[in-house]
Chain A
Amino acid sequence: MLIRTGIVTQVLIEKALPSPERRAQGPYAMIECFQEIPCNPCSISCPFHAILPMEDINELPQLVPELCTGCGICAGVCPGLAIFIIDESKGDEKGLISIPYEFSPLPQKGDVVMAVDREGNPVEEAQVIRVVQSKKIPTPLVTLEVSLSKIHGIRFFQPIKNEEYIGDDRNTNPTTTVEPKDGEEDTLEMADETIACRCEGITLGDIRRLIHEGYTTVDEIKRISRAGMGPCQARTCGPLIAQEIARMTGVPIEEVDPSLHRPPTKSLPLAFFMEDN
């Protein structure tokens, strides 16, 4: 499901969670990065060496929970917004979750927002406790106080507008886009300059031009543009391109041909396969 919808499964989440003992001790980084892509800012930025060094940039980050202090630097540098800081140690049936947030305007301390789950479904109203942004934490981290029992289901939030949650009509189908109201800017629309394929440096604008030209499968776009031919093998851009095809052509995402995945899963040197190795 992750590859098609971008939504993490429960099995993966449970694997990423530190032990209950560690979780009771204080804040920790929850790393929800499950696809090998060429990316290492979390590992190289951790001042406590709590994320193991990567021999290969495609490796998944590995947290050593005992060394992690929950400082938030990794969450603030992760380009995929895949790291959250969770504190379950307060002891009053409430917990704190710090969420990287790239939208503007930034909420302010004391605001009440709608905490939502990984699919964007509303979970509960939550108060903003803290908003941090610094040189070391370039992506703002917004800390919410939420029910401890719901903390592992909450991963994002929406501002509450006119006492109505704007995401209501896209709960069940993550591919449905919200039409902006007249005069209202559609903040969900990504800019043309957004890099869709990081391995090959292909922008969303490049992809959109190809879809416009009539290329409506991920593989056709890959062949013409190279998007998806790099070390990550379309793990990052594949779902994005499929989503864009669905959005622009009106075809449901389930019917968009996904990119073929080519072995090996992970880049390995030639010598690794040679007999004398």
Chain B
Amino acid sequence: MSIPSSASVVIVGGGVSGCAIAWTLAQKGVKDIVVLEKDTLAHGSTGRCGAGVRMQWGAERNCQLAQFSIDFFERANDILGYERDIEFEQTGYLIVAANEKEAAQFKKNVALQNSLGIPSVYLTPEEAKDIVPHIDTSQFVAATFCPKDGHLNPFHTTEAYALAAERLGVTILKHTKVVGIEVENGKIEAVNTTQGRIATPIVVNAAGGWSKEIGTMAGIDIPIYVQRHQILVTEPLEPVLTPMVMGFSYNIYIQQVPHGSIMMGRSDDTEPFDLRVTSGWKFLEEMTRTCGTLLPYLRSAKIVRQWAGHYCMTEDAQPIYGPVPGVEGFYLALGFSGHGFMLAPATGQMISEMILGEPLTIDVSDLDIGRFERRELFFEYSVV
């Protein structure tokens, strides 16, 4: 495909966020949108993520963004006219509290969630065992559960957005890497790629693990860091685990996908800040130990593969949305801190509203890049 010489909006990153932004803008009538992807769609964090979506957050913004997104996912096959299936299943998230301090926080979280209309509940370990019979109740003191949380297929979701966007005239260029961004007198002028130059007044940085680098090209230092997170998956088993089971201080998320595989991940604070996606031995040992303790039933399940992707982290574990002071036309949709996939529909909505100057459906003006300097941070602790 030949590269257009100009565009109204250039979106950097062919992950779910970039594709969702492109589709939302196109659907609102914006023409000449270009999405640039240096590899293939969903090659970065999207295609490597744990695939879960939940509304059980501790920060109000995350709750609202997730609510918007889950509402969209429920109807996404129809809205996007997708012929395959995004495989959205709402089988719930069971989140376990490892100690009393965490349990107290969970009570507050549930109160916040309920106030926003999220149907989460606070449970005793015995009540949790009714939902996940194989769980070892001696390992936690309380739990929360939301039946509307669930999971969906990241590859198909991204494809659904991309195909719908292309039908609306969006140009998606795979294997096209951004090598520079031209800024003149504080305004975006053009994007230079390995395939040529595209003149544009607007660039959206949705480059996930590579978004800091893209920021540097436009002359700004984005306060994010990138860390490797790993996942392993077992052979397919008969259905044994209905909801996602998650623990923050326990450091685990684990779920059975529709295909039957059990997929699990955990984080490692000691990981260096870099772009590696190799698989590590330490993770394998820690992960199997964590899972084998909480869900002893799974000890005999066989691991078939292990992989890694990036978390693009912010200090408060909430995304950065919106324009950048001093670089007119440069918009950020990044720093998702491990939950960019599940927020993609909201990301598309927020960024499109900001670009078009529409009123914000959710007031995310406090998730701007300036909050770090202003020190107006609300820390999200509900992350693995």
State the A residues within 8 Å of B (CB): 217, 219-220, 223-224, 226, 229-231, 233, 262-264, 267-275
B159 touches A224 (CB 8 A): yes
B299 touches A267 (CB 8 A): no
In the complex, how many angstroms separate the beta carbon of A197 from the nearest chain B beta carbon?
13
Q: Which of B67-75, B99-107, B300-308, B348-356 contacts A (4 or more CB under 8 A)?
A: B300-308
Nearest-neighbor residue (CB-CB) of A217 within chain B: B40
Complex partner residue of A226 from B42, B259, B306, CB under 8 angstroms: B259
B279 touches A270 (CB 8 A): no
Residues of B near A264 (CB, < 8 A) are 284, 303-306
A274 touches B292 (CB 8 A): yes
Most buried by B among A230, A270, A275: A270
B40 touches A262 (CB 8 A): no
B298 touches A270 (CB 8 A): yes
Q: Which 6 A-B pairs have the closest CB atoms?
A: A262-B305, A267-B302, A223-B155, A271-B299, A273-B288, A270-B288
B304 touches A267 (CB 8 A): yes
Residues of A near B298 (CB, < 8 A) are 270
Asked if B156 is at the interface of the complex by the 8 Å CB criterion, the answer is yes
Residues of B near A220 (CB, < 8 A) are 40-41
Asked if B365 is at the interface of the complex by the 8 Å CB criterion, the answer is no
In the complex, how many angstroms separate the beta carbon of B292 from the nearest chain A beta carbon?
5
B304 touches A230 (CB 8 A): yes
Residues of A near B234 (CB, < 8 A) are 270
Residues of B near A217 (CB, < 8 A) are 40
B306 touches A273 (CB 8 A): no
Residues of A near B84 (CB, < 8 A) are 224
- Given the interface pairs A267-B235, A273-B285, A274-B289, the reply to whether A224 lies near B156 with Cβ below 8 Å is yes
Asked if B344 is at the interface of the complex by the 8 Å CB criterion, the answer is no
State the B residues within 8 Å of A (CB): 40-43, 47, 84, 155-156, 159, 234-235, 259, 279, 284-285, 287-289, 291-292, 298-307
Distance, CA A269 to CA B235, complexed state (A) = 10
Complex partner residue of B289 from A223, A268, A275, CB under 8 angstroms: A275
Give 16 A-B contacts (CB < 8 Å), ordered by A residue: A219-B40, A223-B155, A226-B259, A233-B305, A262-B279, A262-B306, A262-B307, A263-B279, A263-B306, A267-B304, A269-B299, A270-B303, A271-B300, A273-B284, A273-B287, A275-B285
In the complex, how many angstroms separate the beta carbon of B276 from the nearest chain A beta carbon?
14
Residues of B near A231 (CB, < 8 A) are 235, 302, 304
Residues of B near A268 (CB, < 8 A) are 302-303
Having A267-B304, A270-B302, A273-B284, one finds 15 other A-B pairs with CB under 8 Å, namely A220-B40, A220-B41, A224-B84, A224-B155, A224-B159, A231-B235, A264-B303, A267-B302, A268-B302, A268-B303, A269-B302, A270-B300, A271-B288, A271-B292, A273-B285
Most buried by A among B155, B234, B299, B304: B304
In the complex, how many angstroms separate the beta carbon of A182 from the nearest chain B beta carbon?
36
Nearest-neighbor residue (CB-CB) of B155 within chain A: A223
Residues of A near B41 (CB, < 8 A) are 220
Distance, CA A275 to CA B289, complexed state (A) = 7
Residues of B near A272 (CB, < 8 A) are 288
Residues of A near B40 (CB, < 8 A) are 217, 219-220
In the complex, how many angstroms separate the beta carbon of B355 from the nearest chain A beta carbon?
28
Distance, CA A249 to CA B21, complexed state (A) = 31
In the complex, how many angstroms separate the beta carbon of B151 from the nearest chain A beta carbon?
15
B47 touches A223 (CB 8 A): yes
Nearest-neighbor residue (CB-CB) of B261 within chain A: A229
Distance, CA A256 to CA B306, complexed state (A) = 23
Distance, CA A219 to CA B47, complexed state (A) = 11
A274 touches B279 (CB 8 A): no
Nearest-neighbor residue (CB-CB) of A233 within chain B: B305
Distance, CA A273 to CA B285, complexed state (A) = 5
Nearest-neighbor residue (CB-CB) of A226 within chain B: B259
B301 touches A270 (CB 8 A): yes
Distance, CA A270 to CA B303, complexed state (A) = 6
B300 touches A269 (CB 8 A): yes
Distance, CA A49 to CA B302, complexed state (A) = 27
Distance, CA A226 to CA B159, complexed state (A) = 14
Distance, CA A229 to CA B263, complexed state (A) = 13
Complex partner residue of A267 from B43, B155, B292, B303, CB under 8 angstroms: B303
Residues of B near A263 (CB, < 8 A) are 279, 305-306
Residues of B near A226 (CB, < 8 A) are 259
Residues of B near A223 (CB, < 8 A) are 42, 47, 155
Residues of A near B299 (CB, < 8 A) are 269-271, 274
In the complex, how many angstroms separate the beta carbon of B290 from the nearest chain A beta carbon?
9
Residues of B near A274 (CB, < 8 A) are 285, 288-289, 292, 299
Complex partner residue of A229 from B289, B300, B303, B305, CB under 8 angstroms: B305
Complex partner residue of B291 from A229, A230, A270, CB under 8 angstroms: A270
Nearest-neighbor residue (CB-CB) of B295 within chain A: A270
Residues of B near A233 (CB, < 8 A) are 304-305
In the complex, how many angstroms separate the beta carbon of B261 from the nearest chain A beta carbon?
8
Nearest-neighbor residue (CB-CB) of B302 within chain A: A267
Distance, CA A269 to CA B292, complexed state (A) = 10
Nearest-neighbor residue (CB-CB) of B233 within chain A: A229
Distance, CA A226 to CA B84, complexed state (A) = 13
Distance, CA A273 to CA B304, complexed state (A) = 13
In the complex, how many angstroms separate the beta carbon of A20 from the nearest chain B beta carbon?
39
